A and B are shown apart, each in its own frame.
Chain A
Amino acid sequence: MMKHALGGAVVVLLLLSAAYAAFFVAPTDVKQGLIYRILFLHVSSAWTGLTAFFVCFVANLMYVWRRTPHWDWLGVSAAEVGLAFTTVVLVTGPIWAHPVWGIWWTWDARLTSTFVLWLLYVSYLLLRTLVEEPDRRALFSALFGIFAFIDVPLVFGSIRWWRTQHPQPIVMGEPGSGLDPTMWNVLRFSWLAMLGLMTLLLLARYRVEAMRGDLEILRREAEAA
C-alpha cells in the first residue's frame, strides 16, 4: 500500500512539474502564441499511447507463447490505458486545431490514422466482451491484438502516402523542421511524466484484472464443488 502511495506521489509531482514547465519554462510560439502549449499534452499523450499499445503487443505475443493469464491481464490493461491516452490525443487535437487551422477536424494523415488506431483497439476490447470462455477470450484477443499492431504501420503508411494535406511533421520530420531546444526538453520531460502516469495506471489496472482472474477461478471451483 505504502509503495503504491509513494509511486502515486512521484507521478503527481512529475506531472505537476511537467505542467509548470509547459506553461512557464517553454518559450511562447511566435506564430501560434499560447495555444501551442497544448503540444506538451497532445504529443506526449500520443507517444505514451503508442508505448502502451506496444506493451500490449508484447503481452499478446507472450500470451500466445506462454499461455499464462498474467500476460493476458497485462495485454488488456495496456490496451485500455493506451486507448485512454489516444482518446486524450483525439480530444486535445481538435481543441488545438480549431484556433490554429480554423477547423476542428481535418481528414489528414495523422488524425485519420490515430482515429483508425483508436478504432482498432476499441474493437480489441469489444472482442473481449463477446467471448465467454476465459482461455479462448485471452487467446483470441491476443491474436487480434497482434494483427492490429502489425496493421498500424500499414495504416500510417497508406494514409500518409495518399491522404495528406497538411504540413510535414515538425517532430522527427524533414530536415530543417524542428522544435526550439527548450521546447524539445520540455516535451521530453512531459513524455517522461506521461510514461510515469501510464505505468501507474497500468499497474492499477493490472491489479484489478488479476483480482478478476482470481475471482473467476474461485467461482469456477465453487460451481464444480
Chain B
Amino acid sequence: MSLLSNTTVLLGKELRTEFRSRELLTTTVVFILVVVVLFSFTFDPSSAESRRFAANLLWLAFLFAASLMLQPCFLREQSNDTLSALRLSVNDPFAIFAAKLTANTLFLLLTELLMLPVFSILFNVPVFPVFGQLVLVLFLGSLGVSIAGTALSAISAQARMRELLLPLLLLPLLTPVLVASTQVTVGLLDPAPFVEWKGISFLVIFDVVFLTALWLFGEYLLEE
C-alpha cells in the first residue's frame, strides 16, 4: 500500500515539475517535427512506395526523441541535489522508479498523440480508423522505452559524456521494442489494416521482463 501511495505522491511531483515549465514536452514535440521534416528530404514521402516506411520512420523519430527526453529524468535530481532526499522519503526505492517511469510514459504518449495527426497529414496516412489500436501499441512501446530509459538514465546521470551515453546504452537495448512496435504499426497503417497480436504480446513480454528487472535491481541504481 505504501508503495502505491508513495508512487502517487512522487508522480504528482514529477507531473507538477513538468507542467510548470512544459520544457520537456515542447522541446520533444519540436524535435520530432524536425526529424520528420528532415526524413522527408532523404526520400519523397508522397509516393505510395515510401508511405510503406511511414511507421518505421515514426518509431525511429519517437525512439530518438525518447533517448533525449529521458535525459533530465535523474539529471534534474542530481543537479538539484535532491536524490538523497528522495531516497529518504520513501520506504521502497522502487516507488521513485515507478513514479518516474509512469511520468515518462505519460509524457512520451502525450507527445506521440500530439504528433499523430500531424504525421497523418504530412505523410498522408489515415490514422483515425485504427486510432484505438494505435494508442495501444504506442502505450506498450512507450512503456518499454520508459522502463529501460528510466533505469539507464539513473546510470548515465552519474557518468561523463552523459548526453551521448544514454542513447548509446539505450538504443541497442531497445531493438526488440523497435522491431515489434514497427511491425504492429506497419500492419495498422496498411491499406487493409490488421492487428499483429504477436507483436502486441511481444511488447507485453518486454515490458514485464524489464519491469521485473527494474523492480529487482532498481534500488542498486540509486546507491550513493
Q: Which residues of A are in contact with B by a Cβ distance under 8 Å?
A: 64, 116, 119-120, 123, 126-127, 130-132, 136, 139-140, 143-144, 146-148, 150-151, 154-155, 157-159, 161-163
Contact = CB atoms under 8 A, between A and B. Distances in A.
Contacts of B81: none
B202 A158 contact: yes
Nearest to A159: B179
Contacts of B130: none
B194 interface: no
Contacts of B206: 154
Interface stretch (B69-77, B93-101, B116-124, B161-169): B161-169
Given A130-B165, A143-B221, A120 B173 contact: yes
User: Which 3 pairs between the two chains have the least Cβ-Cβ distance?
Assistant: A158-B176, A154-B176, A158-B179
B183 interface: yes
B191 interface: no
Contact of B169 (A144, A157, A161, A163): A144
Contact of A127 (B155, B183, B198, B213): B155
Q: Which of B151, B169, B180, B199: most chain A Cβ within 10 A?
A: B169
B220 A143 contact: yes
Contacts of A150: 209-210, 213
Q: Which of B148, B152, B159, B198: most chain A Cβ within 10 A?
A: B159
Q: Which of B160, B220, B223: most chain A Cβ within 10 A?
A: B220
Contacts of B165: 126-127, 130
Given A140-B159, A144-B152, A150-B210, A158 B220 contact: no
Contact of A148 (B168, B173, B220): B173
Given A158-B179, A158-B180, A162-B183, A146 B202 contact: no
26 contacts: A116-B172, A116-B175, A120-B172, A120-B173, A123-B168, A126-B165, A126-B168, A130-B165, A136-B158, A139-B220, A139-B223, A140-B221, A143-B217, A143-B221, A144-B155, A146-B213, A146-B217, A147-B151, A147-B210, A147-B213, A148-B173, A150-B210, A154-B176, A157-B202, A158-B176, A163-B179
B205 interface: yes
A143 B168 contact: no
A162 B186 CA distance: 12
Contacts of A157: 176, 202
Interface of B: 148, 151-152, 155, 158-162, 165, 168-169, 172-173, 175-176, 179-180, 183, 198-199, 202, 205-206, 209-210, 213, 217, 220-221, 223
B198 A161 contact: yes
Q: Which of B155, B199, B209, B210: most chain A Cβ within 10 A?
A: B155
Given A144-B152, A144-B169, A146-B217, 11 more contacts: A123-B168, A126-B165, A131-B158, A147-B148, A151-B175, A151-B176, A154-B209, A158-B176, A158-B202, A162-B180, A162-B183
Contacts of A162: 179-180, 183, 199
B179 A123 contact: no
B197 to A, nearest CB: 12
A154 B213 CA distance: 14
Contacts of A130: 159-162, 165
B223 to A, nearest CB: 7
A159 B160 CA distance: 32
B64 to A, nearest CB: 16
Nearest to A163: B179
Nearest to B198: A161
